[in-house]
Amino acid sequence: MRSDKIKKGIERMPNRALLYGTGAHPDHLRRPFIGIASSFSDLIPGHINMRTLERYIERGVENADGAPFIFGVPGICDGIAMGHSGMKQSLPSRELIADIIESMVSAYSLDGLILLTNCDKITPGMIMGALRVNVPAIVVTAGPMLAGHLGKKRLSLVRDTFEAVGRFQAGEITESEQKNLEIEACPSCGSCQGLYTANTMACLTEAMGFSLPYCATSPAVLNKKMRIAYESGQKIVALVKQGLKPRDIINKDSLANAIRVDMALGGSTNTVLHLMAIAKEAGIKLDLKEFDRISLETPHISNLRPGGEYFMEDLDQAGGIPAVLHRLINKLKPSPTVCGKSIKEIAKSALVSDQDIIRPLNNPYHKQGGIAILFGNLAPEGAVVKQSAVDPQMLSFCGKANVFDSEEDAMTAILGKKVKKGEVVVIRYEGPAGGPGMREMLAPTSAIVGLNLHKQVALITDGRFSGGTRGPCIGHISPEAASGGLLAYLKNGDAITIDIPKRKIEVKLSQAEIKNRKKAIKIRPAKAISGYLSRYSKSVSSASTGAVLGKLLTEK
């Protein structure tokens, strides 16, 4: 066992003494050491149930003759960090989490890992770290939140709080209604109720075979989640004995399956960043064109919020990810999973219990997948849009640029009703390096929807969007403004064309005009930052390569 390095031999007498100091029994020292990386936090509703799940994982590990050891991993709730400078820390935290996994596994020579996670950047960060150290690992996602209720109306965080800000500003809801919505929208622990980034990543983790079946969709409050945690604790000890490692499970085929499930579900655009970062840690080449290729041949068959009206609890009751895999079985590539069955075996044995929540391929919500990749002079390296959440009349749009150099400036203008019909809101200097941190723009996009402008106004940015965003919102524009992308040289009134079916995003400027602007307009200097964000800004790569640390040689 790897852990023999720290517990066997006369020279390890001091090490054993310290392990006994933790309360370990001599019997534990003959067993495989299983690290339980827990992102428990009182600050995140998606993580406050993890103390209970930790207990059930420990029980499973002990029952299978392993020695469990819990250690902590930080977590940021994107919803709470949204709309202010705190969001700059969210995406960068993914790299910190990967580093923590690497550090802890290496320092303690752990034999296996349970990754107890749930929200946004925490799940991909843990997977990246597990791939880096490549010891047997299983992910346990803590589960989605239940829908809120106000009378008979079902509520979700994004639709009924973020978008309600715009509705309140427009006078559509009263102060009393606003207060009722904010107190009822999040009625339980768990990750937010729709197919936002946290839940999308949980679904894709299961689709990659890196968590047990039904783990992704099982609500946080159900005892089914506890049983999955217990079984995961048992299974990790078996994986250690078997020697099945993360790089055996996450390969080119399993990543392709994850992208296909993403497209079928209409998941968050953030998954593009995360799957590319995961692929890099696994030593697999993955680029933006692969996402678009799979999207073009994968129907969108499940319409959850924000684009649709269903919730994660509905997807679970309809059969969860195994049922989605069942629909896609003929498009899946064979790959192993942590449960011991192949992904196709799981798909074959699954049942679909609701034909509308998970539709057959010949009766989809949309003929193409949820995400589209756009290219053009504004985004020669690519840009990303959640096309399944765009109104059909806005799939092609031409408008005049209304340019802002920060999210805050754009938000002030939107709520101040200074954004007009027919405009394209441009938010720049919010990319991975320029932000720094590539903030999500859920506040301005939700305000646009709340003000009922999402059928007359588009938004583009070198930042990114929450999985809860809907409407014609194009993010990840690469190169970003801070790296000299054309976004930096746009002016108010420039004519911008967005054509999602043709995968185009262009500004109508001649080469001569672009050349003149590049001479006359200086790129805005980096923001005055220090500490981790300063280091991150200097070394983060383009969004088109996953926004990972360590700039590519081809990047300036």
Q: How does pLDDT run across 236-282, given as a tens digit for each residue?
A: 999 999 999 999 999 999 999 999 999 999 999 999 999 999 999 99
CA distances from 147 to 44, 62, 226, 305, 318 (A): 17, 35, 20, 11, 16
Query: What is the torsional sign of CA 518, 520, 521, 522?
Result: positive
Run of H or E including 154: strand 153-155
Residue 354 lies in a domain: no
The pLDDT value given to residue 22: 96
DSSP reduced 3-state for 478: strand
Same domain, 175 and 224: no
The pLDDT value given to residue 552: 46
Residue 360 lies in a domain: no
Same domain, 294 and 307: yes
Same domain, 193 and 176: no
Q: Of 162, 184, 206, which residue sits at a domain end?
A: 184
Q: Of 349, 383, 417, which residue sits at a domain end?
A: 349
Residue 12 lies in a domain: no
Q: Of 184, 204, 238, which residue sits at a domain end?
A: 184
Same domain, 293 and 380: no
Strands 423-427 and 137-141: unpaired
Nearest C-alpha neighbor of 96 from the set 541, 535, 551: 535
The pLDDT mean for the chain works out to: 96
Nearest C-alpha neighbor of 480 from the set 521, 529, 524: 524
Positions of the chain with pLDDT under 70: 528, 551-556
Same domain, 416 and 380: yes
Nearest C-alpha neighbor of 270 from the set 547, 519, 508: 547
Cα–Cα distance, 485 to 494 (Å, whole number): 16
The pLDDT value given to residue 527: 74
Print the domain residue range for 390.
371-525
Same domain, 278 and 169: no
Place of tokens 């945690």: 229
Read off the CATH number of the domain in which 313 is found.
3.40.50.2300
Q: Does pTM surpass 0.85?
A: yes
Same domain, 170 and 300: no
Angle at 393 between CA 390 and CA 395, to 5 degrees: 50
The pLDDT value given to residue 169: 87
Number of domains in the chain: 3
The pLDDT value given to residue 555: 45
> What is the dihedral angle through the alpha carbons of 144, 54, 112, 340, rounded to the nearest 10 degrees?
-50
Residue 361 lies in a domain: no
Angle at 211 between CA 469 and CA 263, to 5 degrees: 35
6-57 confidence digits (pLDDT tens): 999 999 999 999 999 999 999 999 999 999 999 999 999 999 999 999 999 9
CA distances from 201 to 32, 116, 119, 196, 343 (A): 29, 13, 8, 9, 17
The pLDDT value given to residue 292: 97
Same domain, 301 and 257: yes
The pLDDT value given to residue 556: 42
Residue 534 lies in a domain: no
Same domain, 136 and 123: yes
Structure tokens at 115: 């990754």
Same domain, 215 and 140: yes
Place of tokens 């490692």: 245
Same domain, 321 and 389: no
Catalytic residue among 466, 537, 541, 542: 466
Residue 544 lies in a domain: no
Cα–Cα distance, 39 to 131 (Å, whole number): 18
The pLDDT value given to residue 525: 79
Catalytic residue at 466?
Answer: yes
Residue 550 lies in a domain: no
Residue 537 lies in a domain: no
